[in-house]
Amino acid sequence: MKIGIIGVGKMATAIIQGLKKGQDQLIISGSNLDRSKEIAEKLEVAYAQSHQDLLDHVDLVILGIKPQVYETVLAPLTFKQPVMSMAAGVSLAKLAELVGSDLPIIRIMPNMNAQILKSTTALTYNDKVSSDLKAKCQQIVASFGSCFEIAEKDFDTFTALAGSSPAYIYLFIEAMAKAGVAHGLPKDKALEIVSQTVLASANQLLQGQDSPHSLIDKICSPGGTTIAGLLELERTGLTAAVSAAIDKTIEKAKKM
């Protein structure tokens, strides 16, 4: 398949790195021809003379432009192929207005871990997308991480749980590392210890044999150190704070 990418920022670049592992032919179009040539040489992909030139020669187009310029960039263009968008806040209905209501339209919501080909990505479609195209879209998303097919109405929740949450996780890791420093460990050593522990703990969960609650119970011994720390986390409101942060993130997303 010939896949075109309009707009080649950090996220689109990360996606291209994943797609390059496959057999698809990739063509890009940047903000201008000189920029397209520069990026294409760096990424070792083909480039189009213009956005419309790209659209005239590809089987599927991925939009990597910022949501605030969608109308300006897309209005002069004529689309004839399926369109995949990664823009936050641009609904399937809005995309249909911009590119054509008779076209198959796909929305994806990757997160920053796409940069290491470990994105957690949401995927949804309009009713024009065939089963074969759905499978192809899932393959595209899987090239740079994990894929979760969800209803569009749940995209704001997904954004909070997968898009924004890395920042919250980094804050937790940073707090743990600072505590290590307070008790005498060098900062780099404390960060490595906490990061490796978080990674292994997540992998333990993904094996699917135990729930978070059961794993907590396995770690806590009666009258031990872990239960003392857990009770302090509950006393100071960790669970409520995390839940409130997700609520606030979703609330903000719905207003954008």
Round to whole Å and give the CA distance between 62 and 85.
Answer: 6
Q: What is the pLDDT of residue 253?
A: 85
Q: What is the pLDDT of residues 51-101, one digit of tens each?
A: 999 999 999 999 999 999 999 999 999 999 999 999 988 999 999 999 999
- Is 100 a known ligand-binding residue? no
Please report which confidence band the pLDDT of residue 39 belongs to, taking 50, 70 and 90 as the band edges: very high
**Annotated binding residue at 109?**
no
Residue appearing with tokens 């209501």 = 101
Residue 20 three-state SS: coil
CATH 1.10.3730.10 domain range(s) in the chain: 158-254
Q: At residue 47, does pLDDT exceed 90?
A: yes
* Residue 9 annotated as lining a ligand binding site: yes
229 is known to lie in a ligand binding site: no
Note the CATH number of domain 2-150: 3.40.50.720
Average pLDDT (6-21) is 94
The top-level CATH class assigned to 158-254 is mainly alpha
Query: What is the reported pTM?
Result: 0.89
pLDDT tens, position by position, 186-207? 999 999 999 999 999 999 999 9
- Show the DSSP H helices in the chain as ranges: 10-19, 33-43, 51-55, 70-74, 92-99, 131-142, 155-158, 165-182, 187-206, 212-219, 225-235, 238-255
Q: Where in the chain is the domain with CATH 3.40.50.720?
A: 2-150
